[in-house]
Amino acid sequence: MALHKPVMTVQQHILLEQKRFPGASGEFSFLLSGITLATKMIQAQVRRAGLTDLLGSYGETNVQGEVQQKLDVYANEALLDNLRVRESVGVLASEENERPLMVHGSSPNAKYAVIFDPLDGSSNIDVNVSVGTTFSILKRAEGSSLDDSSSWLLQPGSQQVAAGYVVYGSSTMMVYTVGNGVHGFTLDPAVGAYVLSHENIRMPAQGPYYSTNEAYRDTFPRADQEYIERLRTGKLGRNYSSRYIGSMIADFHRTLLKGGVFLYPPTSTSPDGKLRLLYEANPVAMIAEEAGGAAWSGSQRILDIVPKTIHQRTALAVGGQVEMDEYKRCLAEFGEA
Ligand code: AHM
Ligand code: MG
């Protein structure tokens, strides 16, 4: 009887996926290994957060005007340090940094821009609630200037060549897509490797939960208020229950696996929505669509939005087919805002 069970690590998986691209040289898998390594470092600190001196605020505010947690800063540095040494990376853009970093931007070998939110939901960290890292990878547009970071970054999400996230929850899990399905890998802490645990994830067409910050409901646009009312009152043929963690990645991860809808509409305090298009909405939108779901802002498909600035915000509704069809119906009936 064989005692050893073969496993598929995320690195093996990426190498197999890469073979689908003609002329692939291995540089893309090396780039992604920077993300897997950095997120293992981040999870090690997250797991020990109460024991080390890494809890609490760092004493500065970031470009979004939010108080930076020490772990935000640690996570940002871990990603920047591990990615800037990959020669295929030309630009790094982090939610925590005002300006993107040109790393090998003028090298002809630099092809990719990596965009990330190092620690999403970090205000939850002190109370042991799940947080996450998101990433989105764009390829430098053909003919675009090597030294101008905007031409690398201000592309619609439909141009992403890969996207994913890591959720630091009851286990650490990485979910990613290169446009060929969505795959989930659980970190085996004893071995230190992300191991394939959720192959070809499909979002249920209809799920049991809706997820939004109901405290702001009275200030949502009319279409969103009506939509929530329909979910609550059985108009979609089932009685929805509500779940809201306040960590987008944790809320989205549940929505991806169990189905339903997550929404963060415009509110009186965040009239353009709170979430960031490049760091948060684009990666989850690509994953949702690849898994059979959809993602919309108040007026259009998230992946069609052409960004004007790297830190721009957007309204976001992301979920399964049945929920999102009804969402679009509400937008058509009640207008977007
Ligand atoms: P962050 O990137 O500064 O951590 O903020 C984003 C977080 C999301 O994870 C979450 O969906 C949202 O903020 C929660 O906001 P609210 O507390 O307004 O419901
Ligand atoms: Mg954040």
Flag the least confident range among 102-111, 159-168, 176-185: 102-111
Which has the minimum average pLDDT: 19-33, 127-141, 143-157, 253-267?
A: 19-33
Task: Look at residue 15 in the predicted model and tell me its pLDDT.
Answer: 87
pLDDT in the model for residue 218: 97
Of 274, 277, 249, 252, residue with least CA distance to 262:
252
Pocket of ligand 1 (CB under 6 A): 66, 117, 120-122, 213, 246-248, 264, 274
Cβ atoms of 82 and 34 within 8 Å: the answer is: yes
User: Closest ligand 1 atom to the C-alpha of 250?
Assistant: 9
Query: What pLDDT is stored for residue 24 in this prediction?
Result: 64
Helices (runs of H) and strands (runs of E) counted in the chain: 8, 17
Cα–Cα distance for residue pair 225/325, rounded to 1 Å: 16
- Cβ-in-10-Å burial (0-12, 13-18, 19+) of 109 comes to exposed
Which residue's alpha carbon is at the smallest distance from atom 12 of ligand 1?
A: 246
Percent of residues, the chain, with pLDDT higher than 90? 74
pLDDT of residue 119: 96
Residue nearest to atom 4 of ligand 1 (CA): 121
Could you tell me the pLDDT band of residue 129, with boundaries at 50, 70 and 90?
Answer: very high
What integer best gives the mean pLDDT of the chain?
92
Give the residue with greater pLDDT, 62 vs 121: 121
Top mutation candidate among 76, 210, 248 for ligand 1, by most atoms within 8 Å of CB: 248
Question: In sequence order, what are the beta bridge partners of 266?
Answer: none
Rounded Cα–Cα distance for residues 110 and 88 (Å): 4
* pLDDT number for residue 275: 98
Query: In the block, which residue shows the tokens 């009804």?
Result: 326
**pLDDT score recorded for residue 149:** 83
More confident residue, 219 or 103: 219
Taking residues 207-228, report their average pLDDT: 97
Question: CA 11, CA 15: separation in Å to the nearest integer?
Answer: 6
- Mean pLDDT for 312-332 is 97
If you measure from the C-alpha of residue 247 to the centroid of ligand 1, how many angstroms do you get, rounded to a whole number? 6
Q: What class, spelled out in words, does domain 10-198 have in CATH?
A: alpha beta
pLDDT at residue number 85? 93
- Once rounded to an integer, what is the mean pLDDT over residues 109-124? 92
Find the ligand nearest to 130 CA: 1
User: Which pLDDT does position 8 carry in this prediction?
Assistant: 94
pLDDT number for residue 92: 96
245 C-alpha to center of ligand 1: Å? 9
Indicate the domain borders of the chain.
10-198, 209-333
Q: What angle do CA 32, 38, 40 make, to 5 degrees?
A: 105
- Specify the 3-state DSSP secondary structure of 106: coil
pLDDT at 310 over 60: yes
Query: Residue 216 phi/psi, 5° resolution?
Result: -95, 5
Query: Does 209-333 carry CATH code 3.40.50.2300?
Result: no
Q: Is the pLDDT reported for residue 296 higher than 50?
A: yes
36-45, 80-89, 106-115 — which is least confidently predicted? 106-115
> Which one of 245, 247, 249, 253 would you pick to mutate in the ligand 1 pocket, going by the greatest count of ligand atoms within 8 A of its CB?
247
Q: Sorting pLDDT into bands at 50, 70 and 90, what band is 337?
A: very low
Predicted pLDDT at 67:
67
Choose between 128 and 104: higher pLDDT: 128
Residue 154 CA to residue 15 CA, distance in Å, equals: 28
CA distance 46 to 168: 8
Binding site for Mg(2+): what residues are annotated? Answer: 95, 117, 119-120, 280
Q: What is the torsional sign of CA 280, 139, 106, 153?
A: negative
Q: Which residue has 């290169």 as its token pair?
A: 178
Taking residues 278-298, what's their average pLDDT? 97
- The CA distance from 152 to 86, in Å, is 17
Region 8-23: what's the mean pLDDT?
82
pLDDT number for residue 179: 93
d(CA 88, CA 145): 16
Give 4's contacts (C-beta < 8 A, 6+ positions apart).
none
Residue 58: DSSP 8-state: E
